[in-house]
Structure 1
Amino acid sequence: MSTAPFIDRLRRGLDATRKADFLAPLLLRFFLAPIFITAGLTKLLAFESTVGWFGNPDWGLGLPLPWLMAVLATATELVGGFLLLFGLGTRLIAIPLMVTMLVAAFAVHWHNGWFAIAPSDPSTSMARPLATIGIPAAEQSLENSEAVGKRLSAARQILREHGNYSWLTGKGNFVILNNGIEFAATYFIMLLSLFFTGGGRFCSADYWIGRRWLSSRA
């Protein structure tokens, strides 16, 4: 019995879902926009500290022209977040936002490895498969997970004995912040997707401006 009819129906069914292809870029934009708006607003409201962090080599990034760097980063995130929200200039603004993610990944988080939150159980760590084939960074990550687990166990024991543990964990469990590149890399990939797809049909300013432009040229 030939499977061609089934494959053909499956292909047509999958192609039919393209009518909703605007949802993916829309949701990516709505996910990223508040992240960048919040980051830019935080930098703006504490701008002097932001400049200091960009320029100080001891507890900051030690970058040249820290005032200019702070202005560029703040404006890119704040303005870029609103542009993503409305889907205006999506492909263009994705470029400087990707640059900020690369700077964040390599200048701020790189030395902390991949994980944003340090995994405390080596047996469930995503680094485990890589460690089994002998990748040094993954082996180091598993060792770090063991140390994290011990520290979290000790911290929980102290809090149970000397604090109201139910209240302290009422909004979520305690974790150890690893501050790796995970979030910066994830946001970069999402922005890269938007760079290629644009803001999406129907629900972006780019789409309606493009339609108006094409109709005026016809």
Structure 2
Amino acid sequence: MQDTTRQPQLIIPAFGGFYRATADLAYPLIRFAAGVMLIPHGWTKFFGGGLQGTAGFMSKIGLEPAYVVATYIGVLELVGGTMLAIGLLTRFVAIQVVGFMAVAAFYVHWGNGFLWIKGGYEYPLFWGVVALAIVFRGGGRLSVDRLIGKEF
């Protein structure tokens, strides 16, 4: 039986100090990036004239009431993305992103196959899994949730 508690040996041991010094930044970086990636989509809906187009698309694919759904998604992307990036109500926001990405992947893009370049579900599935990992972990050490001492 193999010992799975041992740490693997680094191929380049000189990197060990860097890895140890930056390891605690990995999760906040992923959470921050996930939130920041949502923000431009919400911004465009509200300040780039995209809300009507999104509502039209929602109506076309049967997601009604389309304007309400489009507005909710825009708020989730803009406000929720900001909250996710800073780690505020992290799990509350992330579980909504999981739902949003599940609908995007399995309802909107599923019929186009896997590859995102062909309109497939690859991208929303990936971000849905990232959001699910954030639900599991919460805000983490570098978050507003941790700063205020409360977490959803």
Please indicate, yes or no, whether the TM-score normalized by the shorter chain is above 0.5.
Answer: yes
CA distance in 2 between partners of 1:68 and 1:43 (Å): 13
Pairwise mapping of residues 114-133 of structure 1 onto structure 2 (< 5 A)?
114-117=114-117
CA distance in 1 between partners of 2:20 and 2:89 (Å): 23
**For residue 84 of structure 2, what is the aligned residue in structure 1?**
84
Residue 82 of structure 1 aligns with an amino acid whose one-letter code is T
Cα 1:18–1:92, aligned 2, differ >3 Å: closer, same or farther?
A: farther
Does residue 117 of structure 2 align to residue 105 of structure 1? no
Q: Does structure 2 conserve the Cα–Cα contact (< 8 Å) formed by 1:40 and 1:76?
A: yes
CA distance in 2 between partners of 1:196 and 1:18 (Å): 23
RMSD (Å), alpha carbons? 2.5
Q: 2:54 aligns with which of 50, 55, 58?
A: 50
Q: CA deviation at 1:115?
A: 1.0
Q: CA deviation at 1:21?
A: 5.6
**For residue 74 of structure 1, what is the aligned residue in structure 2?**
74
Q: CA deviation at 1:18?
A: 8.5
The percent of aligned pairs where both chains have the same amino acid is 36
CA distance in 2 between partners of 1:64 and 1:40 (Å): 19
Q: CA deviation at 1:91?
A: 1.0
Q: TM-score, normalised by structure 1?
A: 0.56
Q: Does structure 2 conserve the Cα–Cα contact (< 8 Å) formed by 1:25 and 1:198?
A: no
**For residue 31 of structure 1, what is the aligned residue in structure 2?**
33
Residue 98 of structure 1 aligns with an amino acid whose one-letter code is V
Larger Rg: 1
**For residue 16 of structure 2, what is the aligned residue in structure 1?**
none
Can you give the 5+ residue segments of structure 1 that lack an aligned partner in the other structure?
A: 118-177, 214-218
Q: 1:182 aligns with which of 100, 104, 122?
A: 122
CA distance in 2 between partners of 1:207 and 1:18 (Å): 22
Cα 1:18–1:195, aligned 2, differ >3 Å: closer, same or farther?
A: farther
Q: TM-score, normalised by structure 2?
A: 0.79
CA distance in 1 between partners of 2:21 and 2:140 (Å): 11
Can you give the 5+ residue segments of structure 2 that lack an aligned partner in the other structure?
A: 10-18
Q: Deviations over 1:98-142 (max 9, x none)?
A: 11101111222100111113xxxxxxxxxxxxxxxxxxxxxxxxx
Q: CA deviation at 1:55?
A: 0.8
CA distance in 1 between partners of 2:23 and 2:147 (Å): 16
Q: 1:208 aligns with which of 133, 139, 147?
A: 147
